[in-house]
Structure 1
Amino acid sequence: MVRPGMRCPVCDAAELRPFYAQAGVPTHVGILWPTRREALECPRGDLELGYCTTCGLVYNTGFDASRNAYGHSYDNALHFSAVFQDYEQNLAQRLIDTYGIRDADVVEIGSGSGHFLGLVCALGENRGTGFDPSYDAEHAEPLPDRVRVVNEYFSRDHVDAEADLVVCRHVLEHVADPAGMLRSVREGIGDRSDTVLYLEVPNGLLALRRLSVGDLIYEHVSYFLASSLRTAVESAGFEILDLRESYDGQFLAVEARPAELPQRPSPTPPDPDVLADIQAFDERARERVTAWADQLAQLANDGERVVAWGAGAKAVGVFNLLGVTDAVDRVVDVNPRKQGTFLAGTGQAVVAPEALVTDPPGTVLVMNPYYATEIGQTLAELGVDAHIQTL
């Protein structure tokens, strides 16, 4: 469990208190395993979650950074979904309009294939540089002429005073020292006061209050509440302009600028109700897992052929937690790079939606309920008459 004496890596104000553990989870949810055997034999690590009573950070003290190298075989892109495309389009346009990001210099930390960076640069006629060790130029989609992605991990030197907008989406939760990373970004910006930071992370409340246990994955070292995210950003030397939930409450987003004066703010305390949710999480989560297992057992008893939709973090998290290898034999994903690969830890084949036409299931398990309408429309267009259930 949580190492004795380990203090919160964001506020350093309190020792982390243990509340949930899970052994032997895959260390990566986004690696494209080419064979079922390799997927079943994937590297594993332990979740040993503790929480900070002062700022509300949830942190995996069992995390070992040496297990989490990212390379070309990693792909966790979401922009093949029309729902997600709309979200990114609206986000890019809002950042451009709100902060006047036109004919400007944009840096993205953890830019993946460069899709969102390319969108910001195309809509605002900007220049963009992204940094991501998983970038694969051979398989990535073409980028606008004024955009480049460097196949490197982020370092302080990658952000300088030339940057008008710094974007960091779904990276901070993967970093063992999130506060240190944000300080590096602030130091790189230097004396410039009008650079905008856009930061986006998964919303920790999703797991804690909706009991979305599948969102607890080894790659995510930290799980941020609004209080701990505010504490991390402000203590790194930024002034928060906006902090909001987005994407059906699944994300937390921060817009910030460098603070004019150095500040060492007190940690923002979490809502007491959230601390109560954390303390009750282990028992409630196990009840939820039992309900999921019963749901799959009932489908099996009914003779239903079951496929899942969404070969991302939720599928890896849930299926490994349940030990599901046969009850769900295929997972559909719209990301073409994932098709033909196998799910980490449990080995289900990942297929294209069109594969259901010739071999239709009776039930489609939707791993993320936010996509249920889009998935239903796709099934109707394909002529696949299947019952949709969510986990």
Structure 2
Amino acid sequence: MTQTKISTDLYSGDRRIEQTCPNCGHSHLSTFYEVKQVPVHSCLMMPNEAEALNFPCGDVLLAFCDRCGFITNLKFDSKWSAYAPNYEDQQSFSPTFNKFAIQLADRLIEKYDLHNKNILEIGCSKGDFLILLCERGNNRGVGIDPSVVPGRVQSEAADRITFIQDYYQEKHAEYVGDFICCRHTLEHIQPTSEFIKIVRRSIGDRTDIPVFFEIPDTVRVLKELAFEDIYYEHCSYFTPGSLARLFRNSGFEVTDLYRDYGDQYLMIEALPIAESKSEKVHPFEESLEELTQQVQYFASHIQEKLDIWRDRLSQLQAENKKVVVWGSGSKCVAFLTTLDTLDKIQYVVDINPHRHGKFIPGVGKSIVSPEFLKDYQPDAIVVMNAIYCNEIQEMLDRMGVRAELMAL
């Protein structure tokens, strides 16, 4: 059974502990949020219910560094970082996400003149974004990711792209070309300072190679009490300030820092510098005082949010309503396991065809296609990401499904 513990006092004696911050090396961290026994992976697809229900679990214990603003899961164990081809996180089946990805690719191509260039993507997943950059800028690319499936995404640029099924290491420095991008990977790495310094050493003495990183924004998680965005495999949580400090301390100068995709994603652009550390602060960074207040707000109010959703799902169950979740990824796993309400959801819907018929780790629910709802006709659909509500409503209208959308 999942258990949640919250501390509202970051500096109480039992919450401030001696623990080295993996982002800046500070010797003390303050714990503030704990969830026990959650799946160690959210996107590894299971072939049957039994394997899904017997999936390994671990604990989440979030701790905050008051020197750099970094938040990390102290209970994270890297032995579970077994990313493989059955790790299914491809988002390109959503028109909403595709529009965002195309606009982002075009903007980076224009800003950095990425035409007939060599591009390296660290943590490329199934290669969708790297393919966009290579197709739309006539570039050549190398994508490195242990979960990559060469040939999954068909492209006219296929002969200009090499995929390597591996974790990024210094031995891959030979693939550093004219531009480095890394999207939704850094949050899966706990020794963040060590990793960014590996990237910097890979670049060497070339100070003209831009790097672009994209990760979830933790300020939104704290302000919106978005517990569904806290899960085991995300061991590192960044705000604009903590991300910028990491890059400045690792031999980069931050050239741009901003949010996108409904303010859910945090983007950083940087250039390597000859010095070991940059002193240039970006105006988008929040102060440590501001961030401390946001962490305390989360710790003080998150229980109310959890209670609201538990009560809402219990009420629907009491009324014999048919309830499904839309979105079978990490948010879904965190939502259902944190609330410990697996019995109140009948099915989980996803637009990604590679997930259909598979089972969710730790949850045991079968993933169905949107077309399943034509016959099932649910009463309520809990949408894991509000940014997709319009897209989902259009699909429901076309299928003749009349259900209440309830977005997190």
Shorter chain as normaliser: what TM range?
over 0.9
What's the CA shift for 1:264? 5.6
The answer to whether the aligner puts 1:366 opposite 2:380 as a matched pair is no
Residues 334-349 of structure 1 correspond to what in structure 2 (within 5 A)? 334-349=351-366
* Map of 2:401 onto structure 1: 384
What's the CA shift for 1:28? 0.5
* In 2, Cα distance between equivalents of 1:125 and 1:264: 33
Aligned residue identity for 1:12: G
* Map of 1:141 onto structure 2: 153
* Map of 1:180 onto structure 2: 194
* In 1, Cα distance between equivalents of 2:224 and 2:238: 15
Specify the SS of the correspondent of 1:46. strand
Specify the SS of the correspondent of 2:342. coil
Match of 1:332 among 328, 349, 353: 349
* In 1, Cα distance between equivalents of 2:290 and 2:204: 39
The answer to whether the aligner puts 1:320 opposite 2:309 as a matched pair is no
* In 2, Cα distance between equivalents of 1:323 and 1:162: 45
- The percentage of counterpart residues that share the same residue type is 35
* Map of 2:328 onto structure 1: 311
Q: Is contact 1:160-1:189 (8 Å) kept?
A: no
* Map of 1:302 onto structure 2: 319
Specify the SS of the correspondent of 2:344. coil
- Residues 271 and 86 of structure 1, relative CA distance in 2, 3 Å threshold: same
Residues 41-56 of structure 1 correspond to what in structure 2 (within 5 A)? 41-56=54-69
What's the CA shift for 1:373? 0.9
Q: Deviating runs (4+, > 4 A) in structure 1?
A: 264-269
Residues 189-268 of structure 1 correspond to what in structure 2 (within 5 A)? 189-263=203-277, 265=279
Q: Which runs of 5+ in 2 are unaligned?
A: 1-13
* In 2, Cα distance between equivalents of 1:264 and 1:373: 43
What's the CA shift for 1:150? 0.7
* In 2, Cα distance between equivalents of 1:262 and 1:203: 26
* In 1, Cα distance between equivalents of 2:224 and 2:339: 18
Q: Is contact 2:324-2:381 (8 Å) kept?
A: yes
What's the CA shift for 1:283? 3.6
Aligned residue identity for 1:344: P
Aligned residue identity for 2:153: E
Q: CA RMSD in A?
A: 1.8
Q: Is contact 1:2-1:62 (8 Å) kept?
A: no
* In 2, Cα distance between equivalents of 1:302 and 1:170: 39
What's the CA shift for 1:14? 4.6
Q: Is contact 1:228-1:270 (8 Å) kept?
A: no
* In 2, Cα distance between equivalents of 1:269 and 1:51: 15
Q: Is contact 2:16-2:30 (8 Å) kept?
A: no
User: Which is further off, 129-138 or 225-234?
Assistant: 129-138
What's the CA shift for 1:249? 0.9
- Per-residue CA distance 1:21-72 (angstroms, 9 max, x = gap): 1111110010101111111111111111110111111111111000221112
* Map of 2:125 onto structure 1: 112
What's the CA shift for 1:324? 2.1
* Map of 1:81 onto structure 2: 94
Q: Is contact 1:56-1:269 (8 Å) kept?
A: no
Q: Is contact 1:42-1:344 (8 Å) kept?
A: yes
The answer to whether the aligner puts 1:282 opposite 2:295 as a matched pair is no
* Map of 2:78 onto structure 1: 65
Specify the SS of the correspondent of 2:116. coil
* Structure 2 length-normalised TM: 0.92
* Structure 1 length-normalised TM: 0.96
- Per-residue CA distance 1:93-126 (angstroms, 9 max, x = gap): 0000001011000000110111100000000000
* In 2, Cα distance between equivalents of 1:67 and 1:126: 35
Give aligned pairs, total: 390
User: Which is further off, 97-106 or 337-346?
Assistant: 337-346
Aligned residue identity for 2:72: Y
* In 1, Cα distance between equivalents of 2:150 and 2:111: 32
Aligned residue identity for 2:388: Y
Aligned residue identity for 1:44: C
Match of 1:356 among 373, 383, 402: 373
What's the CA shift for 1:162? 4.9
Aligned residue identity for 1:198: F
Q: Is contact 2:34-2:60 (8 Å) kept?
A: yes
What's the CA shift for 1:326? 2.3
* In 1, Cα distance between equivalents of 2:25 and 2:280: 11
- Residues 180 and 266 of structure 1, relative CA distance in 2, 3 Å threshold: farther
Match of 1:121 among 134, 157, 177: 134
Q: Which runs of 5+ in 1 are unaligned?
A: none
